[in-house]
Amino acid sequence: MKLTKEIVGTTLGLVFIGSSVFAQSLDDAKKAIDAEQYQKAKSMLKNLTTTQPTKDENFFYLGWVYLQQDYPDSAKAAFNKGIAANAKSAINYAGLGAVAHYNKDAAGAQSNFNQAATLAGKSPEPYVYIAKGYLLDPNPNADAAITVLNKEIGVNAKDPNLFIALGDAYRAQMKSSEAYKAYSTALDLNPKSPSPKVSTGVLWRFANNWEDSEKEFQAAIAIDPNFGPAYREWAETDIRWANKDPKMASAKIQEAVDHYKKFLSLTDMSVESQVRYADFLYSAGRFKELQDVANSLTKYPGVNLKVYRYLGYSAYENGDYATSNTALNTWFSKADPKRVIPYDYYYQGRNTLKAGKDTAAAIQELQKAVQADTTGALSGVYGDIAGVYYAQRKYEQAGDAYQQYATKSNKATLNDYFKEGFSYYFAYGAQLSSKATPKPTPDTTLLVKADSAFAHIQSKLGTTPNSTVTQYRARLYDLKEKDRNNIVGYAKPFYEKFVTEVSGKSSLTDADKKGLAEAYAYLGNYAEYKDKDTAKATEYFTKARDNDPTNAQVQYYFTKKGKPAAGKGK
């Protein structure tokens, strides 16, 4: 369980404990938590809750460890025991509020946070954890965290943890100047803490300032060489650097793995730490290693169920679709529905597509993914949905999906726009030629949508010709004609442009010749029915016949004129 993406993990003064023997004190347990040595901290706190059952803080920190490890039910039970030990335990009410916020229970979160603030007195600690609770995924509320923190800072401006949490909240809002000021204040209040340096390094990472980011991590390690979370944040910075700079990708990904392994060596190698390593491998795109790690973790009783998610994701990426499908089915059947995220539906839908048996179910799963995604990260899924409909010749649905793909993602190519236009064009044609009873009224908005897609392509191409797009624009404008005997000529400029574009080629394909015959036949009809120019009409139809004597309109014209349709071609 993490604070909102890339926000923290390094928010307290972190101190590595190198000894294998730990004094069983709350301070030592808190230091283990700060160092992200969760298994050690949990063992110590379980002992403390037994030997000091009346001390409510023992239960809070045990609950907070559970919450960090994605066990909200266990966390809630611990917080309630803390309140049972002390009915006025502000910090345990803050814990209950955090669990409620994590579970998307806004009313429960607000009630418990209010109670924590009422009972806090002069202690700043409950306010720190109220803010941390507001920043928890999956629905961080940075505004609320900032309000709480600024109010407490107004009466207690000497606690560095308040300022670190404030910096994290501002960082969640991408307010870099405010976050930097808060971290600097925290460092001024406690110059021996490496945490503000690491937090500032993450801030530079947000700005893609890799070099300054690394300098901050190095400065943190200079303060404390065993400051594990500095290596973790450095590893995550390496990954982002690799994703943004292809030239550095290979070196930075390997460096990231090395830094993360260093982080693990400074914490513990518990199952929970291995789950965190799986988190990292997923963000690094190391799917082969991730599948191995996730598969081994499934062997542990009571392991965090998200390892099945990672096994499903990685197996899919590795082409092991059967394993992926089994793992995801396990995840969906056992996980709390509140833990399901859009990517779960995405991979499930992709697996269903690979199976090739139930495309309707696959589309339903992919649609769940994009509907649940509020970030836009999965907007590319509309392209997958469009591709399925397009292959099935469900053209109106395909057109809609391609339009959403183009609108909501930045990945659509001109070919995708062409498929959008093509789909809408053929959807209209299907309505026009439908044999259904009653016959549907063709939806002319489909032609408008098709033309918009084709026009977009031509606007991007500028003066570069694309005769195929020009031809389809001509065809769809021709469909707008209501009466051949009262031809308006909507398609005329497009067919003329098509003739110019194709005639300029050094050599013509059979498709080019058929296209020219189509264009000249249209121009011939326009000359005959609109201009009443028989000679011009014959000239155009002759050119059409020279390119394709089998063209139906050519044959009709010359048969009507009592002349043979055969021509020399060219």
Distance CA 188, CA 286 (A): 39
pLDDT bin (cut points 50, 70, 90) of residue 4 is very low
Write the pLDDT tens digit of every residue in 10-26. 333 333 333 333 447 99
pLDDT bin (cut points 50, 70, 90) of residue 566 is low
Q: SS3 for 226-293, per residue?
A: CCHHHHHHHHHHHHHHHHHCHHHHHHHHHHHHHHHHHHHHCCCCCHHHHHHHHHHHHHHCCHHHHHHH
Query: CA 497, 503, 504, 507: dihedral to nearest 10 degrees?
Result: 140
C-alpha angle 546/548/551, rounded to 5°?
125
Distance CA 399, CA 395 (A): 6
pLDDT bin (cut points 50, 70, 90) of residue 183 is very high
- Of residues 11 and 39, the one with the higher pLDDT is 39
Task: Cis check for the bond before 138: say yes or no (omega within 30 of 0).
Answer: yes
108-112, 241-245, 286-290: least confident range: 241-245
At 14 the three-state DSSP class reads coil
Answer yes or no: are the C-beta atoms of 82 and 95 closer than 8 Å.
yes
User: Is the model's pLDDT at 6 over the cut of 80?
Assistant: no
Place of tokens 């949508």: 449
- As its CATH architecture, domain 1-193 has Alpha Horseshoe (1.25)
Write the pLDDT tens digit of every residue in 264-310. 888 877 787 888 889 888 988 889 999 999 999 999 998 999 999 99
Cβ atoms within 10 Å of 533's Cβ, excluding its own: 14
What is the per-residue pLDDT for 23? 45
Q: Comparing C-alpha atoms, which of 277, 273, 271 is closest to residue 235? A: 277
The rounded percent of the chain whose pLDDT value lies above 90 is 75
Cβ atoms within 10 Å of 211's Cβ, excluding its own: 8
The full set of domain ranges for the chain reads: 1-193
Answer yes or no: are the C-beta atoms of 402 and 411 closer than 8 Å.
no
pTM: 0.65
Distance CA 160, CA 193 (A): 9
Instruction: Name residue 96's amino acid.
Output: L
Give the residue-averaged pLDDT of 511-526. Answer: 97
What is the per-residue pLDDT for 51? 95
Distance CA 405, CA 403 (A): 5
Give the residue-averaged pLDDT of 125-152. Answer: 94
Q: What is the CA radius of gyration of the chain?
A: 33
Write the pLDDT tens digit of every residue in 358-417. 889 999 999 999 999 888 889 999 999 999 999 999 999 999 999 999 998 888 999 999
Give the residue-averaged pLDDT of 507-514. Answer: 96
Give the residue-averaged pLDDT of 301-327. Answer: 95
What is the per-residue pLDDT for 376? 84
Give 111: exposed, middle or buried? Use CB within 10 Å, 0-12, 13-18, 19+. Answer: middle
Distance CA 236, CA 252 (A): 10
What is the per-residue pLDDT for 554? 96
Write the pLDDT tens digit of every residue in 205-231. 999 999 999 999 999 999 998 888 899
28-37, 99-108, 155-164, 227-236: least confident range: 28-37
Look at the alpha carbons of 69, 183, 205, 224 in this order and tell me if their dihedral is positive or negative. negative
Cβ atoms within 10 Å of 74's Cβ, excluding its own: 17
Write the pLDDT tens digit of every residue in 345-359. 999 999 999 887 788
User: Is the model's pLDDT at 569 over the cut of 60?
Assistant: no
What is the per-residue pLDDT for 106? 94
What is the per-residue pLDDT for 138? 75
Place of tokens 């730990």: 22
Write the pLDDT tens digit of every residue in 451-499. 999 999 999 999 998 999 999 999 999 998 877 778 899 999 999 999 9
The residues, ordered by sequence, that sit 6+ positions from 203 with a Cβ below 8 Å of its Cβ are 167, 171, 176, 179, 180, 183
Write the pLDDT tens digit of every residue in 528-543. 999 999 999 999 999 9
Q: Which residues pair with 3 in a beta bridge?
A: 136
What is the per-residue pLDDT for 193? 92
Distance CA 544, CA 540 (A): 6
